[in-house]
C-alpha cells in the first residue's frame, strides 16, 4: 500500500527550510511590477501613489519570507560604544557584582550531573564571578505564561521537549541543552536552585559574601548564617535586564563604592547607560571574552556621549529592532546611532518615544523623517512614502522590495492613528 504523508498538528510549528523564505520573496518580487501596472491602470494613479502600498503579501522591509521578524546585529552597537572610552584598570572597593542568572546557567555544561550537583556548580561559578566583590546579586528572568516574548521562545523550541514538573535533587540530567529549551523547565530550575542555595550546606560556602537572589517577584538575602526576603527589591518585572538596574541602585544605597554588571548583552549595556545618572557610584560592565576580561566604565561612557544621547539611545535601539520588534532590512544600528549623535532634533524625538502610551501624530511624522534619513542620508523629504518613491526612481527600479523603506500603510492601522505594532508598543 502507498504510504500517505498526512500532516499532523506538529507540522504547524515546523519552520520552513532555509530556502523557502527567499523563494517566497523572489516570487513576490516577480509579481511586483504586475501589481504596479494593474493598480495604476485600474485606478489611473501615478507611480508614487502605487508605491504607497506594500504590493506584496508582507512588508519585506520588516518581515522575512516566513513571516517572522527581521533581526539585526545588536553587538555592533555595543562594540561601537565601547570605542568611546578606555577600559577601566581598577574597580573601587567595596564593590557589588550583579549577574544575569539564566545567562550563567546557559553557559554551564550539565550533562550526566544531578540537579543537586548542578546547584552546587552554579554557586561555585557565581562565587568565582564575584570573587572581587563583597556583595553578589543573581537576577533571574521570570517566565510568564502570557508574555510578549512567547513568539520568540516558540521559535527557539521552548514548547518542545520533555518538561519536568518536579525536580528531584538526585535526578541525573542526560540532555542539559534540551532540558533548558523549555520555559517551564527553566522556571522550575530557578525555584530549585534558590531552594538549594538556602540550605545550610551551601550557605557555608559563602563565608563573608552577601548573596542576593531575585526569583519571580521576590528577592532573598542569603548569608552564611541565615536568609531573609528583601522588601526593597521586590519587583514584577519580567526581564532580568531591567531588574538589574534596580539592584544596582539598591547596592548604591547600601554604601558600595562600585557596581559591576556581568552580562554579555547589548540590552543591559544600554539600560545601564540610560540609568547610570540615577546611580551615584561608578558603574561598570564586565565584557568577558575567551582571552581576557575587560571592564567598561559606563559612568565615563555617559560623560563622553552626553546625557541626551544616552537617554535617547534606548528609544532608537527599540525602534530599529529588538527582541520583540522587527528591524529594517539592510539598515543596521550603527547608522541610526550616528544619526542621533549628530542631530539634537532626533535626540528629542527618541526621548519622547515611549513616555506616553499614546503616540501623537506629530511624533509619528518625526519618526518618519528619521526613517527617511536612515535609508537616504542626503534626502530632504520627511514623508516615508515620498522617500520610497524617490529611492525606487533613483535605482530605476533595479532593487528588491526589501531594499525599499516600508510604506505608511504598513506602519499604520486602518484608523488614522499610527499603529502600535510597528513601534513595538502595546
pLDDT tens digits, 239-292: 888 899 999 999 999 999 999 999 888 889 999 999 998 898 999 998 876 677
pLDDT at residue 411 is higher than 80: no
325 belongs to a structural domain: yes
Decide which of 273 and 164 is more confident. Answer: 273
Pick the last residue of a domain from 256, 273, 290. Answer: 256
359 Cβ neighbours under 8 A, 6+ residues apart: 417, 418, 420, 423, 425
Pick the last residue of a domain from 256, 280, 299. Answer: 256
Q: Which pLDDT belongs to residue 164?
A: 75
* Backbone torsions φ then ψ of 131, nearest 5 degrees: -60, -30
Q: Which pLDDT belongs to residue 18?
A: 44
Residue 72, Ramachandran bin (φ over 0: left; ψ between -120 and 50: alpha; else beta): beta
Please confirm whether the linkage preceding 66 is cis (ω < 30° from 0).
no
307 belongs to a structural domain: no
Longest dimension (CA), the chain: 81
Cell of 107: 553557559
Give the count of domains, the chain.
Answer: 2
- The secondary structure of the chain in percent helix, strand, coil, rounded to multiples of 5, reads 45, 10, 40
Q: Please write the tens of the pLDDT for every residue from 200-212.
A: 999 999 999 999 9
Residues 134 and 54 in one domain: no
Residues 110 and 205 in one domain: yes
Residues 345 and 224 in one domain: no
Residues 98 and 216 in one domain: yes
Residues 60 and 192 in one domain: no
Average the pLDDT over 356-377 and give the result: 88
pLDDT at residue 419 is higher than 50: no
Q: Which of 132-136, 320-324, 420-424 has the highest mean pLDDT?
A: 132-136
Cell of 327: 528591524
Residues 103 and 238 in one domain: yes
Are the beta carbons of 305 and 347 closer than 8 angstroms? Answer: no
Residues 328 and 229 in one domain: no
Pick the last residue of a domain from 256, 279, 295. Answer: 256
Least confident of 79-88, 245-254, 316-325, 351-360: 351-360
67 belongs to a structural domain: yes
314 belongs to a structural domain: no
146 belongs to a structural domain: yes
Residues 166 and 113 in one domain: yes
Residues 204 and 327 in one domain: no
Are the beta carbons of 392 and 404 closer than 8 angstroms? Answer: yes
Q: How long is the chain?
A: 426
144 belongs to a structural domain: yes
Torsion of CA 153, 156, 159, 163, to 10 degrees: -110
Residues 58 and 138 in one domain: no
Residues 174 and 204 in one domain: yes
Are the beta carbons of 81 and 415 closer than 8 angstroms? Answer: no
Domain that holds residue 218: 94-256
N-to-C CA span, the chain = 53
Per-residue pLDDT band at 296 (split at 50, 70, 90): very high
pLDDT at residue 147 is higher than 70: no
288-304 burial by CB neighbour count: b if 16+ within 10 A, else e?
A: eeeeeeebbbbbbbbee
Cell of 5: 504523508
Q: Please write the tens of the pLDDT for every residue from 179-199.
A: 888 888 888 999 999 999 999
For 223-282, list the strands marked E by DSSP.
Answer: 227-229, 258-262
Q: Which pLDDT belongs to residue 420?
A: 34
148 belongs to a structural domain: yes
12 belongs to a structural domain: no
Burial of 315 (0-12, 13-18, 19+ CB in 10 A): buried
Residues 141 and 224 in one domain: yes
Amino acid at each position: 500500500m502507498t504510504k500517505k504523508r498526512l500532516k499532523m498538528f506538529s507540522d504547524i510549528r515546523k519552520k520552513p527550510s532555509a530556502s523557502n523564505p527567499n523563494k517566497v520573496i523572489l516570487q513576490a518580487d516577480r509579481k511586483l511590477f504586475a501589481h504596479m501596472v494593474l493598480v495604476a491602470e485600474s485606478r489611473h494613479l501615478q507611480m508614487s501613489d502605487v508605491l504607497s502600498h506594500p504590493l506584496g503579501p508582507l512588508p519585506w522591509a520588516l518581515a522575512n519570507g516566513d513571516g517572522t521578524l527581521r533581526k539585526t546585529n545588536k553587538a555592533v552597537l555595543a562594540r561601537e560604544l565601547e570605542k568611546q572610552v578606555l577600559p577601566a584598570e581598577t574597580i573601587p572597593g567595596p564593590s557589588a557584582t550583579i549577574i544575569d542568572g539564566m545567562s550563567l546557567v546557559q553557559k554551564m555544561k550539565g550533562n550526566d550531573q544531578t540537579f543537586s550537583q548542578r546547584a552546587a556548580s552554579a554557586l561555585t561559578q557565581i562565587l568565582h564571578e564575584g570573587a572581587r566583590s563583597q556583595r553578589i546579586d543573581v537576577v533571574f528572568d521570570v517566565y510568564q505564561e502570557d508574555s510578549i516574548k512567547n513568539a520568540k521562545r516558540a521559535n527557539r523550541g521552548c514548547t518542545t521537549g520533555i518538561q519536568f514538573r518536579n525536580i528531584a535533587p538526585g535526578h541525573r540530567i542526560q540532555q542539559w541543552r534540551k532540558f533548558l529549551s523549555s520555559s517551564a523547565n527553566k522556571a522550575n530550575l530557578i525555584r530549585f536552585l534558590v531552594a538549594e542555595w538556602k540550605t545550610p550546606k551551601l550557605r557555608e560556602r559563602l563565608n563573608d559574601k552577601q548573596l542576593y537572589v531575585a526569583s519571580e517577584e521576590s528577592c532573598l538575602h542569603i548569608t552564611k548564617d541565615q536568609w531573609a526576603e528583601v522588601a526593597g527589591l521586590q519587583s514584577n518585572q519580567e526581564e532580568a535586564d531591567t531588574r538589574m538596574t534596580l539592584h544596582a541602585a539598591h547596592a548604591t544605597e547600601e554604601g558600595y563604592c562600585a557596581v559591576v554588571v556581568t552580562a554579555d548583552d547589548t540590552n543591559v549595556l544600554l539600560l545601564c547607560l540610560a540609568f547610570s545618572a540615577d546611580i551615584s557610584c561608578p558603574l561598570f560592565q564586565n565584557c568577558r571574552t575567551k582571552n581576557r576580561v575587560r571592564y567598561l566604565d559606563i559612568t565615563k561612557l555617559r560623560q563622553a556621549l552626553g546625557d541626551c544621547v544616552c537617554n535617547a539611545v534606548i528609544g532608537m535601539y527599540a525602534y530599529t529592532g529588538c527582541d520583540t520588534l522587527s528591524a529594517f532590512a539592510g539598515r543596521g544600528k550603527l547608522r541610526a546611532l550616528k544619526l542621533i549623535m549628530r542631530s539634537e532634533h532626533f535626540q528629542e524625538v527618541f526621548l519622547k518615544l515611549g513616555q506616553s502610551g499614546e503616540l501623537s501624530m506629530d511624533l509619528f511624522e518625526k519618526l518618519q523623517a528619521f526613517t527617511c534619513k536612515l535609508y537616504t542620508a542626503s534626502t530632504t523629504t520627511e514623508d516615508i512614502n515620498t522617500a520610497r518613491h524617490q529611492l525606487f526612481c533613483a535605482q530605476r527600479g533595479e532593487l528588491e522590495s526589501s531594499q525599499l523603506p516600508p510604506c505608511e500603510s504598513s506602519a499604520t492601522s486602518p484608523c488614522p492613528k499610527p499603529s502600535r505594532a510597528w513601534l513595538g508598543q502595546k
